[in-house]
């Protein structure tokens, strides 16, 4: 009999549902929330309300695209945390209600495990996957971590940001440039046309494998403020150069610690994940670094970089294989943990 897992993701501002049949992805539906654009960041209360509106049609579409009915499901996996509590509550409650109604098991998934395990989402049986242990650089709007992935569910954070996440750095600098939210993809696009060495920004000096991005952001802010003193249209006149230079600074910061982590752990496989892993410059820099160090780089397909339920469904499927299901009264959690 087929093993069919429905995955549900609602940790931030994307409502997503995916179906995995016997370990292969059958559907992955994502409803992104445009309601936050005018505020320049995710508004938690609006996110929860949008999840409420989206979740039923998103789940329904995921089941239809997979060509199955709810009654055929083996188990339901859901993102338990970390994330925005109100948003998580929508997905968690929906998954619980559905599992209870169908009389099938629930599997809780840590969102960060999901990002790391997105490399195990297979669209065809021939798709390759990384070998354990491997190192994962997780970079998104809310997270920037270096994770030592010993096995599918034994992961240790060996480096993390002490202030802003890498995606936040992209988004905040983009906001200063008057670009729409989220600004990361806009900087990526503009950077392709600019000179990455046009501007220099203060480099963080943080010990160990930890990251810091708030100094870069402040330095960027001062560059723009000072530039405007002599030219009120400074940003418009230097858009591509500013984008290329801040992107280079963020990438150099990321690569410095990644290189150190590869050397310290002796990792032979290096993966990246999270929204910022869609960035063309980041992808190129990780490929180059891995080639230079003789290790294998794993770059996720762009559609699996941002929040999606395919990664939740595959993590749920892997947990289910180990017999890990969860009780109906398990609450969601907001804070970052690798448990
Ligand atoms: O993983 P994700 O969807 O969820 C959050 O943690 O919010 O990541 C979203 C982040 C945003 O900060 C967005 O600007 C960034 O990923 N991002 C990018 C690119 N695509 C998305 N940053 C730089 N370049 C990109 N191409």
CB 136 within 8 Å of CB 338: no
User: Which amino acids bring their CB within 6 angstroms of ligand 1?
Assistant: 12, 140-142, 167, 170-171, 182-185, 188, 274-276, 278-279, 306-307
Residue 281 CA: nearest ligand 1 atom is 24
- How far, CA to CA in Å, does 284 sit from each of 58, 77, 251? 33, 33, 10
Q: How far apart are CA 333 and CA 161, in angstroms?
A: 20
Residue 76 phi/psi, 5-degree rounding, is -120, 125
Question: Strand, helix or coil at 260?
Answer: helix
User: pLDDT in tens for each of the 339 residues of the chain?
Assistant: 899 999 999 999 999 999 999 999 999 999 998 888 888 788 999 999 999 999 999 999 999 999 999 999 999 999 999 999 999 999 999 999 999 999 999 999 999 999 999 999 999 999 999 999 999 999 998 889 999 999 998 999 999 999 999 999 999 999 999 999 899 999 999 999 999 999 999 989 999 999 999 999 999 999 999 999 999 999 999 999 999 999 999 999 999 999 999 999 999 999 999 999 999 999 999 999 999 999 999 999 999 999 999 999 999 999 999 999 999 999 999 988 888
Whole-angstrom distance, CA of residue 190 vs CA of residue 179: 11
- Residue tagged 């599992």 (tokens): 99
DSSP 146: E
In whole angstroms, what separates CA 108 from the centre of its chain? Answer: 18
pTM, whole model, 2 decimals?
0.94
């Amino acid at each position: 009999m087929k093993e069919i897992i429905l995955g549900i993701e609602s940790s931030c501002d994307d409502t997503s549902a995916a179906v995995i049949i016997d370990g292969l992805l059958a559907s992955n539906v994502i409803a992104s929330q445009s309601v936050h654009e005018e505020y320049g960041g995710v508004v938690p209360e609006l996110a929860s309300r949008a999840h409420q509106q989206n979740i039923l049609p998103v789940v329904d579409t995921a089941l239809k695209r997979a060509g199955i009915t709810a009654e055929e499901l083996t188990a339901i996996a859901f993102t338990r945390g970390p994330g925005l509590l109100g948003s998580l509550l929508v997905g968690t409650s929906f998954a619980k209600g559905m599992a209870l109604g169908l009389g099938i098991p629930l599997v809780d998934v840590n969102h960060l495990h999901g990002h790391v395990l997105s490399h195990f989402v297979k669209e065809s049986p021939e798709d390759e996957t990384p070998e354990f242990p491997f190192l994962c650089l997780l970079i998104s709007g809310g997270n920037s971590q270096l994770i030592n992935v010993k096995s599918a569910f034994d992961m240790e954070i060996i480096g993390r940001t002490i202030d802003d996440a890498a995606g936040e750095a992209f988004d905040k600098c983009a906001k200063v440039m008057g670009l729409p939210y989220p600004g990361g993809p806009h900087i990526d696009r503009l950077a392709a046309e600019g000179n990455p060495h046009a501007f220099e920004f203060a480099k963080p000096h943080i010990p160990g494998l930890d990251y810091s991005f708030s100094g870069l952001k402040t330095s960027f802010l001062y560059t723009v403020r000072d530039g405007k003193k002599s030219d009120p249209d400074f940003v418009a006149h230097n858009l591509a150069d500013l984008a290329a230079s801040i992107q280079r600074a963020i990438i150099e910061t990321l690569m410095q610690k990644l290189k150190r982590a590869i050397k310290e752990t002796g990792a032979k496989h290096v993966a990246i994940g999270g929204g910022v892993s869609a960035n063309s410059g980041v992808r190129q820099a990780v490929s180059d670094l891995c080639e230079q160090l003789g290790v294998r780089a794993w770059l996720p397909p762009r559609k699996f970089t941002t929040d999606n339920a395919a990664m939740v469904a595959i993590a749920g499927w892997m947990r289910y294989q180990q017999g890990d299901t969860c009780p109906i009264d398990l609450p969601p959690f907001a804070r970052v943990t690798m448990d």
